[in-house]
């Protein structure tokens, strides 16, 4: 569905400042990062470190104060349908059914009514919600809502998918199911994923690239490349994962974050 050569995100020396009550506040220190087409990057860091800010900048919701962000060579100048977003609070429209929410994202394709409904149904089937197409979001559980959101975003084929702690509000069991589902859908569509989380295990189980961010003002501290085959688990995927896990947890510890050289 998505061209493999596309979805290439470059963040070049981007910093972001907001006007606070007592002068400007730096939310993101100058940061450079590259998201290669079709890869899954997890971004982890303490709360308030600016990881969501970086994500919002790539989504076009916040303009960088300096530096630039490009998608396939084109600067990002605002939200667009090339970049899909999955929110922690789902962002579903409660006045539309699950099917209506998915159709909303398909509108711009200018399909016939029947085609549009058909494609929306396929997308819901893909996340196992075909039987709930006519339900409204408030009739669905948290996990089901997020599945509708995933279906809605993948249905129109964005090149990049931003996920801001998408499973943060879900219980542990549902989370595991969602990981499986997300990997399945992602492997089919192959969008470039940036996944913000503060759960180390989640990041290690899902990502190709793991990037660790410092406390505010955020900057990237470490980059781990994870090549273990999926589906991963800490018992099956060798001790490397556990070593990285210990290191990352150490890095995220408040004291070591202060000691880390700039």
Whole-number Å distance between alpha carbons of 203 and 42: 5
Give the H or E element holding residue 210: strand 209-213
Q: What angle do CA 231, 206, 202 make, to 5 degrees?
A: 110
15 part of the interface to another protein, by CB under 8 A? no
| Smallest gap from residue 107 Cβ to another protein (A) | 6
Number of residues that bind another protein (CB under 8 A): 43
Helix 113-126 × helix 98-106 angle, to 10°: 120
| Smallest gap from residue 157 Cβ to another protein (A) | 11
> Residue 205: which of 245, 169, 168 has the closest Cα?
245
Dig out the tokens for 50 from the structure: 């600016």
243 part of the interface to another protein, by CB under 8 A? no
Distance of CA 148 to CAs 66, 67, 128, 169, Å?
A: 36, 35, 9, 15
79 part of the interface to another protein, by CB under 8 A? yes
| Residue of 38, 46, 84, 217 that binds another protein (CB under 8 A) | 84
180 part of the interface to another protein, by CB under 8 A? yes
User: Which window, 16-24, 36-44, 88-96, 116-124, contacts another protein (CB under 8 A)?
Assistant: 88-96
Whole-number Å distance between alpha carbons of 32 and 46: 19
User: Which window, 18-26, 35-43, 142-150, 251-259, contacts another protein (CB under 8 A)?
Assistant: 142-150
Q: For another protein, give the closer residue by CB, 140 or 252.
A: 140
Q: Which residues bind another protein (CB under 8 A)?
A: 59-61, 78-81, 83-85, 87, 89, 91-96, 104-105, 107-108, 127-128, 136-139, 141-144, 147, 152-153, 156, 158, 171, 173-174, 177, 180-181
């Amino acid at each position: 569905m998505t061209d493999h050569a596309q979805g290439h995100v470059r963040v070049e020396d981007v910093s972001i400042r907001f006007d606070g009550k007592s002068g400007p506040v730096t939310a993101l220190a100058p940061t450079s990062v590259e998201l290669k087409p079709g890869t899954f990057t997890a971004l982890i860091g303490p709360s308030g470190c600016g990881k969501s800010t970086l994500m919002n900048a790539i989504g076009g919701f916040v303009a960088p104060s300096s530096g630039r962000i490009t998608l396939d060579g084109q600067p990002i100048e605002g939200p667009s349908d090339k970049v899909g977003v999955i929110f922690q609070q789902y962002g579903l429209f409660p006045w539309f059914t699950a099917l209506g929410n998915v159709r909303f994202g398909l509108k711009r394709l200018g399909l016939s009514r029947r085609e549009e409904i058909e494609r929306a149904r396929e997308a819901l089937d893909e996340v196992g919600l075909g039987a709930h197409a006519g339900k409204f979001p408030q009739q669905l559980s948290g996990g089901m809502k997020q599945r509708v959101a995933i279906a809605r975003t993948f249905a129109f084929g964005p090149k990049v998918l931003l996920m801001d702690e998408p499973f943060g509000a879900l219980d542990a069991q549902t989370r595991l199911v969602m990981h499986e589902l997300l990997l399945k859908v992602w492997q089919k569509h192959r969008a470039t994923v940036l996944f913000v989380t503060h759960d180390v295990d989640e990041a290690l189980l899902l990502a190709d690239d793991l990037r660790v961010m410092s406390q505010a003002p955020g900057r990237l501290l470490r980059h781990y490349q994870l090549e273990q085959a999926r589906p991963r688990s800490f018992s099956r995927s060798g001790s490397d994962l556990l070593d990285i896990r210990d290191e990352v947890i150490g890095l995220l510890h408040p004291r070591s974050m202060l000691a880390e050289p700039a």
